[in-house]
Amino acid sequence: MATIITDDCISCGACEPECPNEAISEGDEYFVINPDLCTECVGFYGNEACQQVCPTEACVPDEDRRESEDTLFARAKALHADKEFGELDAETSRFRNPDAINPIS
Ligand code: SF4
Ligand code: SF4
């Protein structure tokens, strides 16, 4: 389930540099996320980095694009072929974070 930016976005730009995958860009109406690059920050952070800095909480799970932690982690590895990923834990996967800002449903 990639993250999606809702129309609550005020185009402040705070999220764009926080994404480990450069998945965020400015769209026609507001900022947008490329779902092929979004890993919900699995492999990097225990929360979506975009949502953590968003002043309007506009970065939410896309319920129409549900993906497993395995799928998202595989994507992170493919996008960062030169990076050594350790075991996933609460610090590196929202799926394992009991205090996730967007709880797993
Ligand atoms: S959830 Fe993470 S990987 Fe996805 S767009 Fe936001 S910052 Fe980037
Ligand atoms: S941080 Fe939130 S309000 Fe700012 S550009 Fe990103 S999604 Fe939009």
Asked whether 38 lines ligand 1 (CB < 6 A), one says: yes
Radius of gyration of the chain (CA): 13
Nearest-atom index, ligand 1, CA of 44: 2
Residue extents of the structural domains in the chain:
3-96
CA angle 6/92/70 to nearest 5° reads 80
Contact 89, 82 (CB under 8 A): no
Nearest-atom index, ligand 1, CA of 24: 5
Share of the chain above pLDDT 90, in %: 94
Residue-wise DSSP of 37-70: T--TTTTT-SS-HHHHH-TT--EEE-TTS---HH
Is the pLDDT assigned to residue 1 strictly greater than 70?
Answer: no
* Nearest listed ligand to the Cα of residue 14: 2
Q: Smallest Cα–Cα separation from 21: which of 57, 68, 66, 73?
A: 73
- Residue whose Cα lies nearest atom 7 of ligand 1: it is 19
| Cα separation, 11 vs 22, whole angstroms | 16
Query: pTM for the whole thing?
Result: 0.95
Tell me how far the alpha carbon of residue 70 is from its chain's centroid: 14
pLDDT band of residue 14 (cuts 50, 70, 90) is very high
Nearest-atom index, ligand 2, CA of 14: 1
Topology annotation, domain 3-96 = Alpha-Beta Plaits (3.30.70)
Is the pLDDT assigned to residue 2 strictly greater than 90?
Answer: no
Contact 66, 78 (CB under 8 A): no
Is the pLDDT assigned to residue 105 strictly greater than 80?
Answer: no
Q: How far is the CA of 1 from the centre of ligand 2 (A)?
A: 19
Q: How far is the CA of 55 from the centre of ligand 2 (A)?
A: 7
Residue range 46-92, pLDDT digits in tens: 999 999 999 999 999 999 999 999 999 999 999 999 999 999 999 99
Contact 9, 56 (CB under 8 A): yes
